[in-house]
Amino acid sequence: MDKNILGIDWGTSNRRAYLIDEHGACLAEHEDGQGMLAVGGRERFGASLAGLLATMGVGAEVPVIMSGMVGSASGWQEVPYLDSAVPLQRLPAHLVPVADADWAGRCRIVPGYCYRSGAAVDVMRGEETQLLGAVALGHRDGWLVLPGTHSKWVLLRDGLIQAMSTYMTGELFAMLSAGGTLSSMMGGDASDAEGYAIGLSQAGRNEPLSNTLFRVRAGVVSRSAPAAQAPAVVSGLLIGAEFSAAARALEQAGGAARITVIGSPALAARYAVAAAHFGLQCEVLDPHRVYCTAISQFINQA
């Protein structure tokens, strides 16, 4: 019998499932909006998973590995964070079986990581699985960047997490678009190249976002800047804030001026532009390939 495994990236709003063979090849894929919030309560995760398996035609013999918010306090079962002293390659030894008796023998949850540096704390749930995939693909050192609602910048050394910073980039962009002072000017095209470059340049001056975001509005109401560019400027300010902070960290650490972005083509392209702006080399990894590679690492443990 083939050694297959089902990996589920079960996030807050969405879930993605990949049926993987032992070589990391993806045999089937499914994505839907049944994220943690849509499932609607801890006791309903089992039924939700059963529905997914039926939809995908995945048999009862296939083990299931889940990552992401499914393991949070509001998910199926809270799984404690690993300390960042645990190397990513050791993740397969730290999977936590689902306690639910119907699923205990078959389903495991990947723990997230907690990183502490002095009083500063950062956490991830889901990204650790991507990082394991990146490590398995040979990216064991340097800055890995996972853009999104909560963009993660993770510094690896030989597969160990050396530093971790999360930026609420996507969430703040969505909030500012949905309501408040800037929202009336956020309807345009956020990918406008000139506006994005303006935002990146302003971000490089390292002023507080609470100030630079207001200035986008001030520019429009004083007719100094076109309203149509506002979303791209805001995007540049938020993504630029990540790079500006990282550029300082890179300078302090004296590391190589390069990053590896794990992101969808559209988002990765935007980060590549920012990287060039801040003088960083940028390599892009496809998140699906990275995820499937990660899940294949779990086959012998599952």
Q: Tell me the sheet residues that pair with 124.
A: 113
How many residues of this chain interact with a copy of itself, rule: CB under 8 A?
45
Classify burial at 45, counting beta carbons within 10 Å of its beta carbon; exposed 0-12, middle 13-18, buried 19 or more: buried
Q: How far is the CB of 109 from a copy of itself (least distance, A)?
A: 16
Where does this chain touch a copy of itself (CB under 8 A) — which range of 97-105, 163-171, 256-264, 274-282? 163-171
Least Cβ distance, residue 116 to a copy of itself (angstroms)? 7
Least Cα distance to 76 among 91, 85, 66 occurs for: 66
Listed in sequence order, the residues at least 6 apart from 199 whose beta carbon sits closer than 8 Å to its beta carbon are 232, 233, 234, 235, 236, 237, 238, 239, 240
Q: Does 116 bind a copy of itself (CB under 8 A)?
A: yes
Min CB(89)–a copy of itself separation in Å: 23
CB closer to a copy of itself out of 55 and 183: 183
Contact 209, 245 (CB under 8 A): no
Judged by CB under 8 A, the residue of 166, 177, 264, 301 near a copy of itself is 166
Residue type for position 224: S
- Asked if 82 interacts with a copy of itself (CB under 8 A), we say no
List CB contacts of 94: < 8 A, sequence separation 6 or more.
82, 86, 110, 111
Rg value, the chain, Cα: 20
Residue 96 found at the interface with a copy of itself (CB under 8 A)? no
Which positions from 178 to 217 touch a copy of itself by CB under 8 A, shown as an x/- string? -xxx----------------x---x---xxxxxx-xxx--
Q: Which is nearer to a copy of itself, 24 or 219 (CB)?
A: 219
Q: How far apart are CA 285 and CA 158, in angstroms?
A: 18
Q: Is residue 241 at the binding interface for a copy of itself, with CB under 8 A as the rule?
A: yes
> What letter would DSSP give residue 263?
S
Binding of a copy of itself at residue 175 (CB under 8 A)?
A: yes
* Residue 123 binds a copy of itself, judged by CB under 8 A: yes
Task: Please report, for residues 60, 76, 163, the alpha-carbon distance to residue 49 in angstroms, rounded to integers and kept in the order given.
Answer: 12, 11, 34
Can residue 73 be called a binding residue for a copy of itself (CB under 8 A)?
A: yes
Q: Applying CB under 8 A, which of residues 50, 193, 221, 253 lies at the interface with a copy of itself?
A: 221
By residue count, the chain amounts to 302
Binding residues (CB under 8 A) for a copy of itself: these are 72-73, 81, 114, 116, 119-123, 150, 165-169, 171-172, 175-176, 179-181, 198, 202, 206-211, 213-215, 218-219, 221-222, 224-225, 238, 241-242, 244-245
